[in-house]
Structure 1
Amino acid sequence: MPPRRAVTGRSQEPRQRFAEELRLLRAQKGDSLRQLGEALGWDWSLFGKMESGQTIGGPEVAEALDQYYGTPRLLLTLWELAAADPTQFRERYRRYMTLESEALSMWHYGVSTVHGLLQTASYAQELLSAGGLGGEELTRQVEARIRRRAPLEGDDTPRFRTILSEAVLRTPLKDATEWRKQLELLLAMGERPNIKVQIVHHSVGLHALSNTDATFLRLRDGRTVAWVETGYSGELVEETAAVERLQLSYDLVRDLALSPVESRKFIRQMLEEASCEPST
């Protein structure tokens, strides 16, 4: 049997197909990129980057384009396929990192690890090594992670709240001395006026974020976006209704957490226990 031929010459790769449809629809409409930007209220350069495949933009942009071109859900569906492509993880993460650096406030829930902004170099190195990084790339990633903390320690500091599952404090580093340094850093950062560190005890049982590591960013334009992550991938959530559902779950978990004062006491207890153990 001869191989099946494609019905059209269009790309079967989600990202490329999305860009192709954007170029085709604009050409049919007869708009320039600048005219498209003026009509929809976005910087025209964004549409240029989307059509060239440099970015896929956000779902709200795809929805606006569907409405403008009269293609109900076509572009949004193609956007969803492109966003679900595993190769898009790095782009989504780069975009998240840009938004993180611009955020007015951040709040986080951690299932099993300390947030990157509060990790010591040793913690970051062991965690990233466990994920398969090594050599020069590992060194670069650790250095980059430590640099991320600088905005929290500057003059114009964003507000940051992290709520950690007790499991985070029950999962030490291999080196007891380095683990104590990590606990000490959590205590020190929690003393800063712009940072709140809270702990959720095992005893509260299952809750709304029991298997979800999430970070929320409040941006300068008033929007809130969320980054939801596993050990292997992550998703930047920008759709308003989805973010609000996640925020509700976060609020429920915050109600279960120890207060910042009680959380510091608990971390000190963990530090005392760690200090009684011999260094490896």
Structure 2
Amino acid sequence: MNRRNAMGGTAATTAAVFGEVLKHHREAAGLTQEALARKVPCDRSHVARVEAGTRVPQDTFAKACDELLGTDGVLLRLWLRIDWYPEVQHPDWFERRANMDAELVTLREYQIRVMPGLLQTEDYVTALFSRRDTSPMEVEERVSARLSRQQRFLTDGGPLYLVILDESCLRNVVGSAAVMRDQCAYLLVVGQRPNIRIQVAPADNPQLERPATSMSLIKLPDGHEWVYSESLDRGHFNDDPAAYERHSQTYDVLRADTLSAPESAALIAEVMEGYGHDGQPRVQLRDMGQEQLQRSEWRQLHRGSAQLEEDQLQRRQRRRLHRSSPRYPRHRPRP
């Protein structure tokens, strides 16, 4: 399966292309690698490795270079269009899954304990990888690769993505309360995209028939369907039609019986508030050419939801008052 990036080139050349573009604009600005590194700021070796195509840069690095070199956003737009995932070493089985994500037309997921990789914020991903015995450089590269993998699902016309989160995903703290608060806020924002629906399977409903582990139901452009799940150290792929049908039915029944998307959003907002107000939302919707989401947008969304709930409460109260008030016969004129 040949994985290709959004620009139409092979993923194996994208890091080198970004490095060449950066080098061209740096030299055009009359700056050495050392001078650019001081301005970013970062180590000169970081600039050298990015230009050589051996280091995966962060989007913040691309944005800083755009501002310093006066490139009018060229580097950041290129960074967003590049599929960085193949530039980082991963187990063969997970590369196979990532290749499917790059081509699939429909993805249905059930996730327990940890947020799905396609919905994780940068801080959440960083905290997750930092738990392991991994160097800061490797963490940075893996974070960039994972965020790059999300791009296809966050663009207009992205593939259909239906996800059911076990409530444990919201309650299991990764990083800190502030990280979790931002993660919940991000779910509320991204769940409004036309191709993404997020539902939560609440912990207090024992009657829900949940899969034993996280799983993905994948449909490729040629109609081929796969069931994907993971154990401790490997991924499992199954394209047996009977197995797919069985797991698909389990998923569909769970999705029908669990909280709706609006009800799930209310639960996510409730959990988010439970993480306190010390961590202000720093959510980024990593879409093509889209700037960081402003905290005021979330507050406006939250106020709108609160106002809607208040209006519905007032209407219910008026209906109750109307039903309990005495009825008087109307005087009707005789014909």
TM bin (shorter chain): 0.5 to 0.7
* TM-superposed deviation, 1:277: 6.5
2-structure distance, mates of 1:96, 1:174? 26
Number of residue equivalences: 191
2-structure distance, mates of 1:95, 1:174? 28
Aligned position for 2:180: 179
Task: After superposition, give the CA deviation of every residue in 1:54-94 in whole Å (9 maximum; x if it has no partner).
Answer: xxxxxxxxxxxxxxxxxxxxxxxxxxxxxxxxxxx922221
2-structure distance, mates of 1:208, 1:141? 34
Answering whether residue 269 of structure 2 is matched by residue 268 of structure 1, we say yes
Aligned position for 2:248: 247
2-structure distance, mates of 1:100, 1:267? 26
Are the equivalent residues in 2 in contact too, given 1:129–1:138 (CA < 8 A)? yes
* TM-superposed deviation, 1:231: 4.6
Are the equivalent residues in 2 in contact too, given 1:111–1:211 (CA < 8 A)? no
Aligned position for 2:300: none
1-structure distance, mates of 2:107, 2:185? 21
Task: After superposition, give the CA deviation of every residue in 1:187-211 in whole Å (9 maximum; x if it has no partner).
Answer: 1110111100000011222654343
Larger radius of gyration: 2
Answering whether residue 226 of structure 2 is matched by residue 225 of structure 1, we say yes
SS at structure 2 position matched to 1:173 = coil
1-structure distance, mates of 2:231, 2:206? 21
Gap runs ≥5 in structure 1: 1-88
* TM-superposed deviation, 1:276: 4.7
| Equivalent residue letter for 1:155 | D
TM-score (norm 2): 0.53
* TM-superposed deviation, 1:158: 0.6
Percent of aligned pairs with the same amino acid: 28
Answering whether residue 106 of structure 2 is matched by residue 105 of structure 1, we say yes
SS at structure 1 position matched to 2:275 = helix
SS at structure 1 position matched to 2:91 = helix
2-structure distance, mates of 1:132, 1:97? 23
* TM-superposed deviation, 1:176: 2.0
Are the equivalent residues in 2 in contact too, given 1:213–1:230 (CA < 8 A)? no
Could you say if the C-alpha distance between residues 163 and 243 of structure 1 is closer, same or farther in structure 2, counting changes exceeding 3 Å?
same
SS at structure 2 position matched to 1:258 = coil
Larger RCO (CA within 8 A; separation ≥ 6): 1
Aligned position for 1:74: none
Aligned position for 1:168: 169
* TM-superposed deviation, 1:147: 0.8
Could you say if the C-alpha distance between residues 136 and 98 of structure 1 is closer, same or farther in structure 2, counting changes exceeding 3 Å?
same
Could you say if the C-alpha distance between residues 242 and 200 of structure 1 is closer, same or farther in structure 2, counting changes exceeding 3 Å?
same
* TM-superposed deviation, 1:128: 2.4
SS at structure 2 position matched to 1:106 = strand
Aligned position for 2:193: 192
1-structure distance, mates of 2:131, 2:252? 31
Cα RMSD for the two superposed structures? 2.1
Could you say if the C-alpha distance between residues 276 and 135 of structure 1 is closer, same or farther in structure 2, counting changes exceeding 3 Å?
closer
Are the equivalent residues in 1 in contact too, given 2:128–2:175 (CA < 8 A)? no
| Equivalent residue letter for 1:223 | H
* TM-superposed deviation, 1:140: 1.4
* TM-superposed deviation, 1:131: 4.2
Could you say if the C-alpha distance between residues 122 and 258 of structure 1 is closer, same or farther in structure 2, counting changes exceeding 3 Å?
same
Could you say if the C-alpha distance between residues 145 and 155 of structure 1 is closer, same or farther in structure 2, counting changes exceeding 3 Å?
same
1-structure distance, mates of 2:181, 2:279? 11
Aligned position for 1:201: 202
Task: After superposition, give the CA deviation of every residue in 1:81-132 in whole Å (9 maximum; x if it has no partner).
Answer: xxxxxxxx92222111111110111111001111101101121122223344
Aligned position for 2:120: 119
1-structure distance, mates of 2:97, 2:161? 16
1-structure distance, mates of 2:147, 2:109? 18
2-structure distance, mates of 1:254, 1:179? 24
Gap runs ≥5 in structure 2: 1-89, 281-335
SS at structure 2 position matched to 1:226 = strand
* TM-superposed deviation, 1:182: 0.7
| Equivalent residue letter for 1:255 | A
Are the equivalent residues in 2 in contact too, given 1:93–1:236 (CA < 8 A)? no
SS at structure 1 position matched to 2:264 = helix
| Equivalent residue letter for 1:152 | F
2-structure distance, mates of 1:274, 1:264? 16
1-structure distance, mates of 2:93, 2:239? 11
SS at structure 1 position matched to 2:110 = strand
Could you say if the C-alpha distance between residues 127 and 252 of structure 1 is closer, same or farther in structure 2, counting changes exceeding 3 Å?
same
